[in-house]
Amino acid sequence: AQKITQTQPGMFVQEKEAVTLDCTYDTSDPSYGLFWYKQPSSGEMIFLIYQGSYDQQNATEGRYSLNFQKARKSANLVISASQLGDSAMYFCAMREMGAGSYQLTFGKGTKLSVIP
Amino acid sequence: GAVVSQHPSRVICKSGTSVKIECRSLDFQATTMFWYRQFPKQSLMLMATSNEGSKATYEQGVEKDKFLINHASLTLSTLTVTSAHPEDSSFYICSASDRDRVTDTQYFGPGTRLTVL
């Protein structure tokens, strides 16, 4: 079974609107971290936001927020007030802390296109 | 903070030659660095985990003799693609883990696009 599932290969959003990118995960480790990265066409991976499994509140970073629903094992990224520069690939990733490893497992990504 | 550089950004080489890619953490010490490979329109595939002062740990299916990794210092890791062939053409991207941060976030370099003719 895939550990990280991103069901939306592509998404469109109107400029200035909010958009939600879905991410579900699968782990039996009680301690884990969830990450979102943005990859523009230039190729660089830009860290956006982090959510720890024991964090009580949803993470927020500027226009980015993470809708963390632990029981449903979902960690959706919400981008508010979309900008043209938000057009990119977005990857959800997980690190399972219990294994003592620092590896990230990535989803297949969602391509977001912001329409003027 | 948390800047990772990668050099070169793009390289074209002839089949059979070796190519070295450098990954540097510029403003933090990275005990652990990671090397990924990404095919067009696909996700990142972890190739190996590199720990400073010790041998790299390779993922299943990655040839350690072909993809040589050296982590000589807390700020530098190198990936050498030996005897490159056209099928090695890909986007290679490194990341470094900032252990001083609670989250152990991985910060990525800008990537290297390798084309083997």
Q: State which amino acid sits at residue B63.
A: E
- Between chains, do A104 and B106 touch, taking CB under 8 Å as contact? yes
- Between chains, do B108 and A108 touch, taking CB under 8 Å as contact? no
Q: Which of B49, B109, B110 sits opposite A103 (nearest CB)?
A: B49
Q: Which residues contact B69 (CB under 8 A, 6 or more apart)?
A: B35, B48, B50, B56, B77, B78, B79, B80
Binding-site residues on chain A for chain B (CB distance < 8 A): 33, 35, 37, 42-47, 50, 52, 91, 95, 101-104, 106-109
Longest dimension (CA), chain A: 45
Per residue in B53-106, pLDDT tens? Answer: 888 999 999 999 999 999 888 899 999 999 999 999 999 999 998 766 667 789
- The CA distance from B83 to B14, in Å, is 9
Percent above pLDDT 90 for chain B: 75
Structure tokens of A85?
Answer: 């520069």
If you measure CA to CA, which chain A residue comes closest to B102?
Answer: A52
A9 closest CA partner among B73, B90, B42, B8: B42
Distances (CA, A) of B57 to B9, B24, B33, B52: 24, 19, 11, 12
pLDDT class of A102 with cuts at 50, 70, 90? confident
Where is A22: in which H helix or E strand? none
pLDDT class of A99 with cuts at 50, 70, 90? low
Which three-class secondary structure state does DSSP give residue A15? coil
- The CA distance from B61 to A61, in Å, is 37
Contacts with B111 from chain A: Cβ below 8 Å: 43-45
Say yes or no to pLDDT of B6 above 80. Answer: yes
Which three-class secondary structure state does DSSP give residue B17? coil
pLDDT, chain B, mean? 92
pLDDT class of A1 with cuts at 50, 70, 90? low
Per residue in A13-40, pLDDT tens? Answer: 999 999 999 999 999 999 999 999 999 9
In this prediction, residue A34 carries a pLDDT of 96
- The CA distance from A95 to A106, in Å, is 9
More confident site: A91 or B30: A91
Distances (CA, A) of B72 to A8, B61, B66: 40, 24, 18
In this prediction, residue A52 carries a pLDDT of 94
Say yes or no to pLDDT of A48 above 90. Answer: yes
Structure tokens of B40?
Answer: 């067009």
More confident site: B67 or A99: B67
Contacts with B43 from chain A: Cβ below 8 Å: 91, 106-109
